Every structure is written in structure tokens, then in C-alpha cells.
Structure 1
Amino acid sequence: MVIPVHDVNPVRRTPWVTYALIAANFLVFLSTPGIADSVSGASHLSQLCRLQAFLDHYAVVPRELIHHQLPRTVPTGAVGVGAHGAGCVVAPPGYHKSPALSVFTAMFVHGSWLHLLGNMLFLYIFGNNIEDRMGHLRFLVFYVVCGYAAGYGFALLNESSGAPLIGASGAIAGVLGAYLVLYPTARVWVLVPFLVFLPLRLPAWLVLGFWFVLQAVYSSGEGVSEAGTVAYAAHVVGFLAGMVLALPLKPGTPPPPEPRRLLFGRQARHTW
């Protein structure tokens, strides 16, 4: 898997919405119960119970979204001791959960630092150009629509599942799909793990196309031992939604600047 670090595609205006989305994701993450100890790996029962209660409230649950089957009891975040030992206390929910609204709230919830930082890296690199092309408000609407497409798409494919779905990756996949449509020839600096991390500058169609193929393969269950922890199908649906929504903008999109011929950060000697 290649790691993008920078694209050679300058913008004309400051991507305020992209920055605001990144900030919002960090703020929600830092306010999520139990996250403070996730760096050290510590996980006490009380933290797990609070985290489970938080996810039941704000995450997408496919069977709730598709069949509107809301649970009669949910974790309260408290710890109790029963006949089988200590565990999370469950009770009738003290709040009204809207499954449709949970698709939106789940876009800002992440389960670990790696989950958050990986998503925000992709949004930071590719989101600014899409916002620059669409404008601030249209980009925000586009981002949310892609997130909803990914959430509902995943839920339809897993309609009986009671596992929570969280993360901004579905919406960000839409950003990647739009970037592939609008800027396929833009150059992207990536790190390729090959004994060490090897820096390469590759065209966006290769980087993003390879990413999409991996998600499609993983969503089918091939190449992974347990696909249940990552919603690859949501990535695929979000990516396709972003491509479709970006197609009308393709004719009027100026091509990215032709980069100087650099090889690993140095001027290449080729004259062709």
C-alpha cells in the first residue's frame, strides 16, 4: 500500500472547509470516551463501557438504518456487577436516536489514532483541490452526500448487521473519486514500502486507481483474513459516488500544471 504525502496541484483559494472538517474530526476524536488512553493501549472496563455507549448513540448500525430496528436496551456507560461478574450496564435508551442522522454523526467518529490520521491525511492532500474546484459550500454538500451514499450503500449490503459503522473514510473516498475524474494526470508524491520507504512521484490515476482496486478486492473478502473491522464496501460506494458527482465538472476543469521532471527530489538529466 502506497502512502501519499503531497500532490503537485496548487489551489487558488484557501480550503477553509477542508481545514474545518479536519479540525472537527480531531475535536470529536479527542472528546470520545476512552480515546485519551488509546495511545498507550490501556483499556479499562469503565472506558470500554463508555465507548460502547458513545458508539451506540452516534454510530451507524445497518439494521437500524435499513429496518429501523432500534434496540430496547443500550449500554449506559456505567459498570455493574452481576451473576457473571463485572460488565456494562444496559437500560432503555435515555435519548431518541435518528438512524438517518447517525450517518452524519458517524462521519466524525473514529476508533483509533491510526484510523483518524490515515483519513485526515487523504482529506488534507486531496480535499483542497476538490474544494477549490467546487467552491466552499458545494464541496461541503458534496462531502456529506458522499458520506451518506457510503453509509447507506454499506448498510444495504449488510442490512442484518448490528455492528457499528464509524469514520470519515466513506466521504473521503468520494473526494478521491472526484480527484480521479478531475485531475487524473496530477502528480502525487508517495512513499512505497520496499525495504525502506521509497519516495516516488506518480500520476493520480495510478495512485487512486490502485487504491480503489484494493478496496474493491478487499470488499469481496479476497486478500484479507477478517474484513469485518474495515468497511471496504463503504469506500467503494463513496468513491463511485464521488466520481459520478464530479463528472459534470470535468469539461471546465483546467489541467494541473505540468511538473518539472524531478526524480527523487532532484532535477533529472533527461531532455525528453
Structure 2
Amino acid sequence: LLHGSWAHLLVNSVWLAAFGSPLAVRLGNARFLAFWLVTSLAAVALHHVFHAGEMIPVIGASGAISGMMGAAARFGFGMSAAGRRRSFAGRLLTFREVLASRTVLTFLGVWFAINLVTGLGFAGGPSIAWEAHVGGFLAGFLLIGLFDPLSGASASGNGRF
């Protein structure tokens, strides 16, 4: 449970519950763990691109949780079949459908704006690894189809997960 502060741990816990729980149910344990690892590695990789050669530790689970948020965008924030709650139900949206969805575009805009403000130092300063957030988010958004057992890539054998 290594995090920068108790507030960091609390915020990550809330987002993990909101985005991680339904994604774990959808993917299953092994795929969810693999997704977590891949988005974490993507988060660290993008952070390294901006901070190569610097001795800046990256702690917390924000990169992987951002990956879960990126994956959520591909589900379009639809309602469950019962209409009671938002869920990761149904098929993944195509990139064309994402670009046509006002809800998803609003989510993407707000998410990236918050990270831009954070990155410019207006809300947390250099102690927040915004680059890791973006790396995890992009990996989750782009790669969720490889992990989703219900997507075409995974079901047709094109994806290993």
C-alpha cells in the first residue's frame, strides 16, 4: 500500500472501486491482473520518456487505475441490462463510435484537462506523475480489446488475453 499520502491512497481506492470492480468482473481474475500489469508498465514507460535519467520514484497505483478509466471509456458508460446502474456491459465501442459519443468525448476531455492542469503544476505540482496517468489511460483505452473475453479480438484468437 505504498502511496504518496493518505489522501492519495483514499482517492486511488475510490477510483479502483468505481472502475476496477466492474472491469474485474468483466475480465476475470487472470485477465484483470494482466491488464493491471500492462497498464502499469505503460504508465511507467511514458513517465520515463519525460524523466529519463532522473531519480524520480513513481509510487501508487494511479497508472493502472487510469488504465481502467481508459478502458471504461470504450464501454461508453452505458446502463446495465436492468437499467439500474452503470456497468461494463455489452460490447466495446469502436474508435469511430467513441468519436461519435458526446458522453465519452466529455469524459475524455475532462480527464485529460484535469491531468493537463496537474501536469502544469496548478493542482499538486511535480509530486504527481501525470505522465504515468496518461500512459496508463492510453494503454487501457487502446488495449482493452486484447483482454476482454467478449471482444472480437479476444474471441477470434487475435488477442492473447
Give the C-alpha shift of residue 205 in structure 1.
5.9
Give the alignment of 1:117-266 within 5 angstroms.
117-186=10-79, 206-207=106-107, 209-219=109-119, 221=120, 224=122, 227-248=125-146, 249=148, 252=151
Distance 1:112 1:226, change over 3 A: closer
Which amino acid in 1 is paired with 2:111?
Answer: W
CA contact (8 A) 2:43 2:135 kept: yes
Partners in 2 of 1:130 and 1:225 — Cα distance?
A: 28
**Structure 2 alignment gaps of length 5 or more:** 80-84, 87-102, 153-161
1:252, CA displacement in angstroms? 4.2
Label 1:209 to 1:226 Cα distance change in 2 as closer, same or farther (>3 A): closer
Unmatched segments (≥5 aa) in structure 1:
1-24, 26-108, 189-202, 254-272
Q: 1:218 to 1:112 in 2, by over 3 A?
A: closer
Give 1:211 deviation, angstroms. 2.1
Tell me the alpha carbon deviations over residues 102-148 of structure 1, each in whole angstroms, 9 at most, x when there is no partner.
xxxxxxx2021101000010001111111122111100110111011
State the match for 1:58 in structure 2: none
Cα 1:247/1:184, change in 2 over 3 Å: farther
The 5 A counterparts of 1:98-109 are 109=2
Who is 1:40 aligned against? none
Find the residue that maps to 2:126 and give its secondary structure: coil
Work out whether residues 184 and 205 of structure 1, in 8 Å CA contact, stay in contact via their aligned partners in 2: no
Percent sequence identity is 37
Secondary structure in structure 1 of the residue aligned to 2:125: coil
Structure-1 separation of matches of 2:123 and 2:21: 35
**RCO comparison, higher one (Cα < 8 Å, 6+):** 2
Q: Specify the alignment match of 2:100 in structure 1.
A: none
TM-score, normalising length: structure 2: 0.69
CA distance in 1, matches of 2:35, 2:61: 13
Distance, in Å, in 1 between the alignment partners of 2:112 and 2:8 is 18
Matched, 1:112 2:12: no
Q: As a proportion of its length, which structure holds more helix?
A: 2
* Inter-partner Cα distance in structure 1 for 2:104 and 2:25: 17
Decide whether the 8 Å contact of 1:184 with 1:204 is kept in 2.
yes
**Alpha-carbon distance between aligned partners in 2 of 1:137 and 1:250, rounded to the nearest angstrom:** 11
How far is the alpha carbon of 1:236 from its aligned partner? 0.6
> RMSD over aligned Cα, in angstroms?
2.7
**What amino acid sits opposite 1:176 in the alignment?**
M
Q: Rg: which structure is higher?
A: 1
Aligned residue-pair number: 130
Structure whose residues are more often strand by fraction: 1
For residues 250 and 145 of structure 1, the distance between their equivalents in structure 2, rounded to whole angstroms, comes to 16
